[in-house]
Chain A
Amino acid sequence: MPGTRLPPDIAAAVALGSEAGRTFAEFNWDDHPLGPVAEWPDALRTVVTVALASRFPVVLWLGDDLTMVYNDGYIPMLADKHPQAMGMPGLDVWWEIRDIIEPMLAGVVETGVATWSDDLLLMLVDRGRPWERYFTFTYSPIFLHEGKVGGVFCAVFETTERVVGERRLQVLNTLGAALVDAKSVDETLSATVKMCAEQPADLPFVALYLEDGTGGQTLRASTPNVSVLLESAAPSAQFWGARAVDEAGGRVIDDLQERLPGLADVWRQGGPERALVMPLTDPSSTVAVGTAVIGLNPHRPLDDQYQGFCRLLADQIIAGITSAGAYEAERARAESLAELDRAKTLFLTNVSHELRTPLTLILGPAEDALALGDDPELRELLQVVARNGRRLLRLVNSLLDFARIEAGRASTQLVETDVGELTADIASAFGDICRRAGLDLVIDCKPAVGQVDPYMWETIVFNLLSNAFKFTFDGSISVQVAAGPDGTISMSVSDTGVGIPEGELARVFERFYRPLNVEGRSMEGSGIGLALVQNLVELHGGSISVTSRPGAGTTFTVTVPAMSHTHVHTAHTRPSRARRDSIYVTEAAQWLEGASGEVVGDALSAASVDRLPDRPIVLVADDNTDLRAHLERIIGSRWSTVSASDGQQALELIRRIEPDLVIADVMMPKLDGFELIKAIRADPRLESIPVMILSARAGLEATGEGFEAGADDYILKPFKSTELLNRVAARLKVAIRDQDRREREQLEVARAAVLVELGSQLSAATTEAEIVTRLLGPALSALAMDAVAIGVVQEGGDLLRMTYGGSLAPVLLDLYHTISVDAPVPMAKAVRTARSMVVPDTMQLDETYAAVVSDAAGSVRAIVVEPLVAADGVVAGALCLMWAAPREFSDAEVDLFKEIAGITARALERVRRAERDRRVAVALQDRLLDWGAHSMAAAISTTYRPASDIMRVGGDWYTITALGDTGKIALSVGDVVGHGLPAAMVMSELRSALAVAALAAGQPGEVLDLLEDYARQVPGASCTTAAYVLVDPAEGTVRYACAGHPYPVLVTSSGDVRLLEDGRRAALAVGSSLRTDSDRRQHVTQGLAPLEPGSLLVLYTDGLIERRGESIDSGFDRLVDAARTCAAKPVGEVCAYLLSALAGHGGYDDDVALVAFRPCGSTSTSFVDAFASQVSEIPGVRSRLRTWLEAQHVDAEVAYEVLVCVGEAVANAAEHGNRFDPNKTVTLEVFLSNGDITATVTDAGRWDADSADTRRLASRGRGLTLIHGLCDDVVVDRNPLGTRVTTRHRMGSRVRGTA
């Protein structure tokens, strides 16, 4: 008995039961140089006692040969060296790091001075291989009583996870920063490999392959150490078998060095032996665009952390490539736009020159002819020619000016002049026309001598005035000139017109910019007036600005320097009176006449138009007076005409008269040609009226736009009179035939409208259930479907998960909540064959489908099934439209179904992508969070819900730990400050520390003490909050402590809510000083509360109750209110209910972790039981439940119904849900309230049974039929974590009283 030879102090430490203690005790010390333990110096015995009793990793180096003694905490560092290391000379144990530690130990022994090492890298050998590990430790001397150093005490803490984690995070951050500036894909790739080359520890080498357009992937960049080798040996990703890489975790190449001879030579030793091949997948299209090959550090295990790091690296690279690609495309676009601009300018110059010659030859003879002729009719025609010729000349001149300026060939002829006087003179030309239009023209021009080019200045002023006049219908236009204080002259033109919307302001000086949706006197204009003005002002060395308020008016302000340094003509020009006839003024006058053209329309009442059978009515709408008169002349020769001067007026007339044909100009004030067509087509009375569009805008695009808008014909200006007559005649002749065509088109349009509406409806859907609901919504109401189902192929590809909507028998939803892809069910067939099925009567389906046809016969008799094909061509699922009665389907409907399926497939893809993102976030957390022990002592439900912004996932945790055989259960929730990977890493460390502390320490206060100590060692753990609750079901109590965490909530079975407010302490690791033991004792406070049977305990993180801009107290109030209604809710429903009841408008800003706990036991209103998921448990559960029901005097019939429902649900859970893991727990919660019994069976399985297995389906169908038939209400809630079946039984009069 070796233990008997130990002195009592050490024996006591050994008796604590540690493994190291046992090893120590069993060691034969008698034959050891140190001799029997009892003879060791007191000091050595004391430290051995301390070490063995400590939970902190401690190793002792005793005596001259530094004999090793250690405790349990140290065993993980020794790995396979334990237990041989006990009693061995320590330096022989640690031969691989002897070079490092021997001098340190010798120093301590010789000098008695302690060492401290922080995060020291020690390459420890385990399983025959050195591993990169980091330790923080101290060597301190053990003094014997004579003052001699008799050994070394070493407290050590492994920091590998943190050091490596921080290093990797640093790599990711550095890469992120490096890629921000990358402007091309090449830059991205080279920045990536450059950065990776600086991180040889985690990235011994990196190679990046990208799609080369031929279907392959070519090596585009690699770290310099391997670039030569890879370019010759692995120029294509095919070398790595990259095509076979699955999306999630990448693939490990294990035979790297055999595969790549010569690779090992790159490193002198310790080169990578394995590589990870990761696909670079574009997240927006989920298409792999490349491959990253990452060499792996042979001294680090490829664990989740390493793999996750590589995944994040790949994600960052792909994000860099994607955004760099976008940048390149943007730059190319800008360049091509500039090129296009230059081409436009050149074109304008050429065209303008070419136009001026024939124009001159039109104007000259026309004016001559005017002078000669006396015939008034002829004079009128000639005046039209001359007026419009001059207008055209002005436009051409403007264009030419403009083009000259653009080409840099314009120069100013500056003349010293009084700009005020000049401006006033120019502006006064508009006096008369403003009076006629009822506008005040205010001219306020102070003398201001400066140098301007008078011709250009005139152009500037006229353009601004003409512009103001065009858009001002009442009020005033004012022109002001004043000399500025700083040697400038400013001229402004203000109006009280319609104004310019703010969004358009920035664009008014753009070439060819025309305001949209702005009412003006005319839509005429080239759109270059203001651009020209700006160029002219800039030629003067000045600037122009604009301010405007819609509905209030616009002010343009031109500022030019008074004196120029360039050559100045001294001549003082007098403004010429010819300006009165300026074409600008003439043009403006025409707009006025056009407006008064309303008289034409007003004069024509419906009654006044004679509808002669042989004389159809043609309505002409054009804002140009001349053109309108011209058209009336031509058309009037054969048909009756009515004319309108703008679109609005035209529409009113059309409604009143219903003409046989409409000829409309494209550009008209108030309502342009296209809008007019739209209005006509939208009016069922008018839609068949043919509309011909007149436009000067040539080109296929413009024509196309015209037809697209619904024009029947499109006539280009200029046109010949005969051509117009022919086309109008032809159009009128085929009007009847057209009507048929239009009716068909109408159907098409209606169909398109339906699809557009459906598309917009579905694009807002965020879940499959919403898609189904919207398919049944108003968009497709014409189809009168009774139900819709969507089946989505699950991962693995052999199962369809179904979502139903509409009226279907509830039992059908349960029977077919999943469908095997191989099942004899139409939707499965559609998925297998990618073909649709149209079934006017399900009874006509062949024998194969007999089962499903008869199951559904009650609610489904006609179906259409369409495969849902994703963008990549893969069948992602199937859509089933259902009708309760047989019906026929027209060809048009069959086409429509295909379109519906296409839209649904796109919506589904969006939904699934969003779901996947969310799932990734939750999966990350799930992996980190413990789902907890499936205790048989309580019903427990846990929820983790990521914040609305999924990137904020991270810091929340919960744990559930059954404490051995004591029956006690430890619950904790906590919240680490921050989000993302760093918080998740800290969370993971703290959570595991907490689980260990829960096992080691007894009381909540002590557990949080241990956690506090630990948190101080973990960077980033500061300010973490945590609540820890120890439940003792046998005693009926909870003991708890909270470190800065919101209060846990206790709800009794009668609905009293209590916040657990005792046991408070500060958040973890706050402040820097280490606390002393006496401090600590003060902190060991904890709360105690009774936990009656049937009570509910809720733990949560602050995300649940915090809302922006609200006090935390109102959050608690909301929680207490919500919790009050949870007394008779099963725990799973409690979690779901609290999450939905406490969500703010935009969901949750922060993550929420939630634990709901209800101990097993029964009261007069509740019965809670938990048991293993095995069929053999059923009789026992039934017996317990029966006893309880009888004690509550529940009527025998109701009792039987409850027992059967519960029994069937448990059988389902046991047979199907949990069949892969019989150790899972099933919980049963039954409540009696308001004369209702609700029974909830919760399991951790999914009932994902294979429906093709007809025998099992048949038996399960019976069970479901029983459940549905024997209760008043059944709710089945399935989610990835389990299934919850709740049945409600109304006792009503059947209850026998409660004697």
Chain B
Amino acid sequence: MKAQFAIEEVSALQAAAPELRVLDVRGEIDTTNAEDFEAVITERASSGVVVLDLTSIGYCDSAAFAALDRIIGRGGVAVAMGPENPVHRAATLMGLRFHDSVEMAATALGG
């Protein structure tokens, strides 16, 4: 059995930055599906810059953070996560490069 995640493209910033896509990620990412997640996002990011909105993510473990590190490392992807999410503290602990809001993430990418 694998953990489940869902990705939905939202159009919040479409007007401000038409070339930028925002992906809302929900569900759980852990050692059982982190590689799948990485593959999906890498594929989605291949055609443009992407903000991953983890504000509503339910669970991330160390494998998830490792996958996010690699995704960010390849460029073109920024991560947003609000401080209200329980995962926030762990992400900070892991040294994940993320932004507190989708807007800030987009700004970082747009620079």
Q: Which residues on A are within 8 Å of B, measured CB to CB?
A: 1175-1180, 1182, 1196-1197, 1199-1201, 1203-1204, 1207-1208, 1211, 1215, 1258-1259, 1262-1263, 1265-1266, 1269-1270
**B4 proximity list for chain A (CB < 8 A):** 1179
Q: How far is the CA of A1197 from the CA of B61 in the complex (A)?
A: 14
Supposing A1200-B90, A1201-B86, A1270-B93 touch, asked if A1178 and B59 sit within 8 A by C-beta, the answer is no
* A1263 and B61 in contact, given A1178-B32, A1197-B89 (Cβ under 8 angstroms): yes
Q: A1179-B1, A1203-B59, A1204-B59 are in contact. List 11 more A-B contacts (CB 8 A).
A: A1178-B3, A1182-B3, A1182-B28, A1196-B86, A1204-B61, A1204-B90, A1208-B62, A1211-B63, A1265-B62, A1266-B61, A1266-B94
B30 close to A (CB within 8 Å)? yes
Determine the distance from Cα of A1263 to Cα of B61 in the docked complex, in whole angstroms. Answer: 8
Complex contacts, B98 vs chain A, CB 8 Å? none
Interface 1/0s, chain B 24-40, versus A by CB < 8 A?
00001011100000000
Q: Is the CB of B28 within 8 A of A1179?
A: yes
Which 7 A-B pairs give the minimum distances between C-beta atoms? Answer: A1200-B86, A1262-B62, A1269-B93, A1197-B86, A1263-B62, A1179-B3, A1211-B31
Known A-B contacts A1207-B30, A1266-B90; the reply to A1177 vs B1 at CB < 8 A is: yes
The interface centre, meaning the residue of B59, B66, B86 with most chain A CB atoms within 10 A of its CB, is B86
Least CB separation from B4: chain A residue: A1179
Which residues of B are found within 8 Å of A1197, using beta-carbon distances?
Answer: 86, 89
B74 interface contact, C-beta 8 A: no
The distance in angstroms between the C-alpha atoms of A1259 and B61, with both chains bound, is: 11
Contact of A1259 among B30, B60, B66, B87 (CB under 8 A): B66
The answer to whether A1199 touches B3 (Cβ under 8 A) is: no
Nearest Cβ distance between residue B73 and chain A, in whole angstroms?
13
Residues of B within 8 A of A1176 (CB): 1-2, 32
Write the nearest CB–CB distance from A493 to chain B, whole angstroms.
Answer: 88
Q: Could you say which of B30, B66, B87 contacts A1178, with CB atoms under 8 Å apart?
A: B30
Q: List the B side residues contacting A1258 at CB < 8 Å.
A: 66
Are the CB atoms of A1175 and B62 closer together than 8 Å?
no
State A1211–B63 Cα separation when bound (angstroms).
10
**Complex interface: chain A residues within 8 A of B1 (CB):** 1176-1177, 1179-1180
Given contacts A1196-B86, A1265-B94, A1270-B89, contact A1182 B59 (CB under 8 A): yes
Residues in B with CB closer than 8 Å to A1270 are 89-90, 93
Residues in B with CB closer than 8 Å to A1269 are 90, 93
Contacts of A1203 in B (CB 8 A): 59
- Determine the chain A residues whose CB is within 8 A of the CB of B65 once the complex forms: 1262, 1266
The answer to whether B61 and A1200 have CB atoms under 8 Å apart is: no
Kindly state the separation between the CA atoms of A895 and B31 in the bound complex, as whole angstroms. 50
Chain A residue numbers with a CB within 8 Å of B59 are: 1182, 1200, 1203-1204, 1207
B1-13: CB near A (< 8 Å → 1, else 0) gives 1111000000000
Secondary structure of the A contact surface, majority rule: helix
Residue of A nearest to B86 (CB): A1200
Contacts of B89 in A (CB 8 A): 1197, 1201, 1270
Cα(A1175)–Cα(B86), bound, Å: 23
Partner of B62, one of A1178, A1182, A1259: A1259
Q: Min CB distance, B5 to chain A, in Å?
A: 11
- CB proximity of A1294 to chain B, nearest CB, Å: 11
Contact B66 A1262 (CB under 8 A): yes
Residue of A1175, A1201, A1262, A1263 with highest tally of chain B CB at under 10 A? A1262
* CA A1199 to CA B32, docked complex, whole Å: 20
A706 CB to nearest chain B CB (Å): 68
- The tally of residues in B whose CB lies under 8 Å from a CB in A reads 21
| Distance (whole angstroms) from the CB of B40 to the closest CB of chain A | 17
Closest to B31 in A: A1211
Contacts of A1178 in B (CB 8 A): 3, 30-32
Task: Identify which of A1176, A1177, A1203, A1204 gathers the most chain B CB atoms within 10 Å of its CB.
Answer: A1204
Residue of B at shortest CB range from A1267?
B62
Q: List 30 A-B contacts (CB under 8 A).
A: A1177-B1, A1178-B32, A1179-B1, A1179-B3, A1179-B4, A1182-B28, A1182-B59, A1197-B89, A1199-B86, A1201-B90, A1203-B59, A1204-B61, A1204-B90, A1207-B30, A1207-B31, A1207-B59, A1207-B61, A1211-B61, A1211-B62, A1262-B66, A1263-B61, A1265-B62, A1265-B94, A1266-B61, A1266-B62, A1266-B90, A1266-B93, A1266-B94, A1269-B93, A1270-B89
**Contact at A1265–B61, with CB atoms within 8 Å?**
no
Task: Name the CB-closest residue of A to B33.
Answer: A1179
Complex CA gap A1179/B63 in Å reads: 13
Q: How far is the CA of A1266 from the CA of B94 in the complex (A)?
A: 7
Within 8 Å by CB of A1200, from B2, B30, B87, B93, lies B87
A1208 in contact with B61 (CB, 8 Å): yes
- The residues of A that contact B94 with a CB separation of less than 8 Å are 1262, 1265-1266
Q: Enumerate chain B residues within 8 angstroms of A1179, measured Cβ to Cβ.
A: 1-4, 28, 30, 32
Q: State the Cβ distance, A1133 to closest chain B Cβ, in Å.
A: 25
> Interface code B73-92, partner A: CB below 8 Å = 1, 0 otherwise?
00000000000001101100
Q: How many angstroms between the C-alpha atoms of A1175 and B35 in the bound complex?
A: 14
Residues of B within 8 A of A1211 (CB): 30-31, 61-63
A1082 to B79, CA, bound (A): 74
**CB closest residue in chain A, given B95:** A1265
**A137 CB, nearest partner CB in chain B, Å:** 55
Q: Using Cβ atoms and an 8 Å threshold, which residues of chain A touch B93?
A: 1265-1266, 1269-1270
With a CB–CB cut-off of 8 A, which chain A residues contact B87? 1200
Least Cβ–Cβ distance between B93 and chain A, in angstroms: 4
Q: A1177 vs B31: C-alpha distance in the bound complex, in angstroms?
A: 11
Q: Which residues in A have their C-beta under 8 angstroms from that of B86?
A: 1196-1197, 1199-1201
| Cα distance, A1270 to B90, chains bound together (Å) | 7
- The contact string, 1 if C-beta is below 8 Å from chain A, for chain B 42-65, is 000000000000000001111101
A1055 to B61, CA, bound (A): 35
Q: Which residue of B lies closest to A1197 (CB)?
A: B86
Kindly state the separation between the CA atoms of A1200 and B60 in the bound complex, as whole angstroms. 9
User: Which partner residue on chain B sits nearest A1211 by CB separation?
Assistant: B31
A1179 vs B1: C-alpha distance when bound (angstroms): 7
- Closest residue on chain B to residue A1215 by CB atoms: B31
Instruction: Give the interface centre of B2, B90, B94 by most chain A CB atoms within 10 Å.
Output: B90
Residues in A neighbouring B66, C-beta threshold 8 A: 1258-1259, 1262
Minimum Cβ distance to chain B for residue A1192 (Å)? 16
Chain A residues positioned under 8 Å from B90 (CB to CB): 1200-1201, 1204, 1266, 1269-1270
Distance A1199 CA – B90 CA, assembled complex (angstroms): 13
B28:A1175 contact, CB within 8 angstroms: no
With a cutoff of 8 Å between Cβ atoms, the chain B residues found around residue A1196 in the complex are 86
Chain A proximity of B25: nearest CB distance (Å)? 16
**CB of A463, distance to nearest CB on chain B (Å):** 88
CA A1263 to CA B63, docked complex, whole Å: 8
CA distance A1094 to B65 in the complex (A): 35
Q: In whole angstroms, what is the CA distance A1270 to B61 when docked?
A: 11
Complex Cα–Cα for A1270 and B63 (A): 16
- Shortest CB distance B33–A (Å): 8
Q: Which residues does chain B contribute within 8 Å of A1200, judged by CB atoms?
A: 59, 86-87, 90
Smallest CB–CB gap between A718 and chain B, Å? 85
CB distance from A71 to the nearest CB of B (A): 46
CB of A748 to closest CB in B, whole Å: 52
Residues of B within 8 A of A1201 (CB): 86, 89-90
A1208: chain B residues within 8 A (beta carbon): 61-62
Q: What is the CB-to-nearest-CB distance from A932 to chain B, in angstroms, rounded to a whole number?
A: 27
CA distance A1263 to B62 in the complex (A): 5
Chain B residues, Cβ within 8 Å of A1215: 31
Question: Which residues on the A side are within 8 Å of B62 (C-beta)?
Answer: 1208, 1211, 1259, 1262-1263, 1265-1266
Please measure, in the bound complex, the distance between the C-alpha atom of A518 and the C-alpha atom of B33, giving whole angstroms.
84
Q: With a CB–CB cut-off of 8 A, which chain A residues contact B63?
A: 1211, 1259
Chain A nearest CB, measured from B110 CB (Å):
30
